[in-house]
Chains A and B, each alone.
Chain A
Amino acid sequence: MGEREGRSWGGLGPVRQLVVPALLALELLVFASLSDSFLTGPNLANVILNSVDLALIAGGLTLVIILGGIDVSTGPALGVVAWVVGTSTVAGTPAALTVVLAIALGALLGLVNGAIVSLLNVTAIIATLGTAAMFQTALFGLWGGTDLFAPPVSRYAATDRLLGVPTVAFLVLVVYAVLWYVTRYRAFGRHVYAVGNDTEAARLSGVAVRRVSLAAYVLVGALVGLAAVVYMARVGVVQATSGTNLTLAAIAAVVVGGTSITGGRGSVVGTLFGVLFIAVLQNGVVLTGVPPLWNGVLVGMFILVAVGIDVVSERLSARKAATR
């Protein structure tokens, strides 16, 4: 009898499921013992504030990657929406309207991606490389040579606290709770997994493959829009390259969280841990006196190690199953 996995639901195996939380705990312990200021309220609040936009994007991106797709346009898309948010705020538009506008615009950009991928059958990475370049240029045009400064759309999107915790943290929790519910208790969510496992089998089982795919890209777009609101409140300025470094960071968070880049397997909960792991790492490294330049080295090593373990253990258990 080979090793059997418990409830899988297209989720992660028991080992892989615990890798990131365990490492996160280890990370917290190490940083707490190395730096007195690490486990303080203001610092932890800081960690959260700096990672909310990443968390929102990565949450949506998880679904697209489980689907077997990818979106490398999230950063530039965020930049475009951020400009609109900033402009709208400066113009004195009511905060609620600005937020709705941001989400709608983000969803629209996601719709563009989804339409190219699922209706025109363009490979996801090419399609979103193309739209990334377009969004980037659009932002450049909007930016027009002068940085746009704007106040937070609302204090709730910025440094406001609820029970001592940054309010935006609750936004992340709500969004992830909804995503978890969708992936687990809605047919759409399960169909995302089915398409990522085997598109043809999904079609034969009566899954509306194109519609599911389109919806996933729109969803990630909407979350990018929401992330742009928080981003603007945090950074306060839009430049020609705003958001670009979030593209790969979001993919990294999803992958570190255990979602398979080839689709069919993964979870939003894992992604949340992935985001936390990266955010804590970045913060802790600074506090313990290591030059922040080391961040990328650690993130890169962690991606390779985590996914390497994943790949090797998959191969071993598959071999076991085959020779059983």
Chain B
Amino acid sequence: MSDENATPSAEQRQAREPLFRGEGLSLSFGATRALRGVDLDVHAGERVVVVGENGAGKSTLMKLLAGVLRPDDGQMTFEGSRYAPASPGEAIGLGVAMVHQEPTFFPQLSVLENVFIGREIRTRTGNLRWSAMRAEAVQLFEALRLPVRLLDWRMDRLSLGEQQLALIARAVHQDSRLLILDEPTSILTDNEAEILFGLVDRHVAAGGGVLYISHRMGEFPRVADRVVVLKDGQVVADVPAAEADEQTLIRHMSGRELLAFQRSERTRRSAEPVLALRGLTRRGVYSDVSLDVHAGEVVGLYGLIGSGRSELAMTVFGAMQADSGAMTLKGAPHRPATPGEAIRAGVAYVPEDRKTLGLYTLMSCGENLSSAALPRLTRRGLIQSRQEAQVVDTGYATLSVKSTGADESILNLSGGNQQKVLLARWLANTPQLLILDEPTRGIDVGTKTEIHRLVDREAADGRAVLLISSELPELLALSDRIYVLYRGEVAAELPGGPDSEAAVITATMGAHRVGQ
């Protein structure tokens, strides 16, 4: 933990104009106010970590800087002049490079080419100078302490962490003055993370600035000069890293506006759980997960992106297989090889990514709704249209879907109504176990409340519900119990309700684990 890199003292920083300054930055998506007047400075040679709960506005803020999004209000200056990039390309040209959480690259090309595509070194006649590019890349990689041999490998043969480092190398190579990293260490091994920290140090030593989103508090003393805490789209704390101890940060991050939601009385229907996981492990994804879900309760599953939440749900649903461990459903061994088997066993899963995993965008609302129930509605291979219509009607009524009719194209519906159709798709099967993965993401407030009521009602009616949500207030309000996953492991099991907030955040950050 020695601090060998020379970072400018506070006085030196104050004396200079900041490298980047954002003032009063605001941005809304529909009714959701993602950012509400954020002020943020980054000085040359400074490393700033931005922390906050899921949905606090961190990624949105970074995307403003990187030219992916534009603010509704407020202004930015970079290197002393007005800064309003219209595209990521323009931002890169001006010296602001961002490495996204889910990066894009050229999988079948070598790492060397991935670093240089679009900004190749050429001779005056336009020939590519491979030797010069290689020499520069070797220099870059050596400086970054990345293995030089990686340069010749195909990008898709690298591990996720190596890919991430290569892309960071590309960003550094783009002569960026301000480097923005969105949760770069979530998929890195400890060794790789150490390489990254060295890279960040060198970047600031060379006079650049670094903005860094992270959840791993254990890292902060190593990687940050200053920690900025965002909550509900506002800056609630801006403290030097030395003063940013766990308790302080968690105190700042918690206390979000709570959900005014009175959940109904629930009773566990039996001592035996509907779903029980024991020591479930999938290498590199989740490990040794044990949890129970009873009939008549909502069990919340919380964790950061990459903590293995969705993968766990996919495993229960047969869309992914575990390496070891055991699952039981209503006391019987449960090891579905396909979603079809899981469905027949009484499991329903409403996936997180509505568009790629749920919707048939070219089909009608009715066809989208009845899809999972079809085998039940089929006689001798033919869909019984009257029964199908009944299922659709019931679904429409239960969820009060708003559309001109079941024939309407699903694309014409709002996100909220699309989500209702997908929920209805799964409720139509009256499952034993209902798994909801981010059921309220990206939908309007009104529909959100309706979905909350629905989840509550399902549990009160005796259904076992496993709820995955990144929205802590929602999860706290709805759940009877909450399991927190940290890097694939159950870090805590806590009771639901607002009192657990700080404990959940602490477990989410792996605060008590880092540094072991």
CB within 8 Å of B: which residues of A?
2, 4-10, 184-187, 190-191, 193-194, 196-198, 200-202, 204-207, 260, 264-265, 317-318, 321, 323-324
With A198-B107, A201-B106 given, name 6 new contacts (CB 8 A). A187-B126, A191-B117, A193-B106, A198-B104, A198-B106, A205-B117
- Residues on B with C-beta less than 8 A from A190 are 113, 117, 120, 128
The distance in angstroms between the C-alpha atoms of A6 and B149, with both chains bound, is: 9
Interface residues on B, range: 20 to 34
Flag the segment in B154-162, B202-210, B343-351 that touches A.
B154-162
B270 adjacent to chain A (CB < 8 Å) = no
B381 adjacent to chain A (CB < 8 Å) = no
Whether the pair A204, B88 counts as a contact (CB closer than 8 A) is yes
Whether the pair A206, B157 counts as a contact (CB closer than 8 A) is no
- Residues on B with C-beta less than 8 A from A8 are 108-110, 152-154
B82 adjacent to chain A (CB < 8 Å) = no
The distance in angstroms between the C-alpha atoms of A110 and B117, with both chains bound, is: 26
Instruction: List which B95-123 residues lie within 8 A (CB) of chain A.
Output: 104-110, 113, 117-120, 122
- Residues on A with C-beta less than 8 A from B105 are 198, 201
Whether the pair B118, A207 counts as a contact (CB closer than 8 A) is yes
Q: Give B123's nearest chain A residue, CB to CB.
A: A185
Interface centre among B108, B118, B122 (most CB of A within 10 A): B108
B127 adjacent to chain A (CB < 8 Å) = yes
Interface 1/0 per residue, B333-372 and A, CB below 8 Å: 0000000000000000000000000000000000000000
28 A-B pairs within 8 Å (CB atoms) are namely A2-B157, A5-B157, A8-B110, A8-B152, A9-B109, A10-B108, A10-B109, A10-B110, A185-B130, A186-B127, A190-B117, A190-B120, A191-B117, A193-B108, A193-B113, A194-B109, A194-B113, A194-B118, A197-B108, A197-B109, A198-B105, A201-B106, A204-B88, A264-B106, A264-B109, A321-B157, A321-B159, A323-B283
- Residues on B with C-beta less than 8 A from A197 are 106-109
Q: Is the interface of B mostly helix, strand, loop or mixed?
A: loop
The distance in angstroms between the C-alpha atoms of A323 and B157, with both chains bound, is: 11
The distance in angstroms between the C-alpha atoms of A318 and B122, with both chains bound, is: 33
Whether the pair B152, A7 counts as a contact (CB closer than 8 A) is yes
B89 adjacent to chain A (CB < 8 Å) = yes
Whether the pair B128, A186 counts as a contact (CB closer than 8 A) is yes
The distance in angstroms between the C-alpha atoms of A197 and B120, with both chains bound, is: 17
CB within 8 Å of A: which residues of B?
88-89, 104-110, 113, 117-120, 122, 126-128, 130, 152-154, 156-159, 283-284
The distance in angstroms between the C-alpha atoms of A6 and B154, with both chains bound, is: 8
Whether the pair A187, B120 counts as a contact (CB closer than 8 A) is yes
The distance in angstroms between the C-alpha atoms of A185 and B125, with both chains bound, is: 11
Q: Give A191's nearest chain B residue, CB to CB.
A: B117
Whether the pair A321, B118 counts as a contact (CB closer than 8 A) is no
Q: Which of A4, A206, A317 contacts B118 (CB 8 A)?
A: A206
- Residues on B with C-beta less than 8 A from A191 are 117
The distance in angstroms between the C-alpha atoms of A189 and B515, with both chains bound, is: 48
- Residues on A with C-beta less than 8 A from B127 are 185-186
Whether the pair A9, B110 counts as a contact (CB closer than 8 A) is yes
Query: Known contacts A185-B128, A187-B128; is A193 also within 8 Å of B153 by CB?
Result: no
- Report the minimum CB–CB distance from B216 to chain A (whole Å): 23
The distance in angstroms between the C-alpha atoms of A7 and B110, with both chains bound, is: 7
The distance in angstroms between the C-alpha atoms of A191 and B89, with both chains bound, is: 17
Whether the pair A204, B104 counts as a contact (CB closer than 8 A) is yes
Whether the pair B106, A200 counts as a contact (CB closer than 8 A) is no
- Report the minimum CB–CB distance from A257 to chain B (whole Å): 16
The distance in angstroms between the C-alpha atoms of A204 and B117, with both chains bound, is: 10
Q: Give A194's nearest chain B residue, CB to CB.
A: B117
Whether the pair A264, B107 counts as a contact (CB closer than 8 A) is yes
Whether the pair A202, B113 counts as a contact (CB closer than 8 A) is no
The distance in angstroms between the C-alpha atoms of A234 and B107, with both chains bound, is: 42
The distance in angstroms between the C-alpha atoms of A153 and B62, with both chains bound, is: 64
Q: Give A3's nearest chain B residue, CB to CB.
A: B157
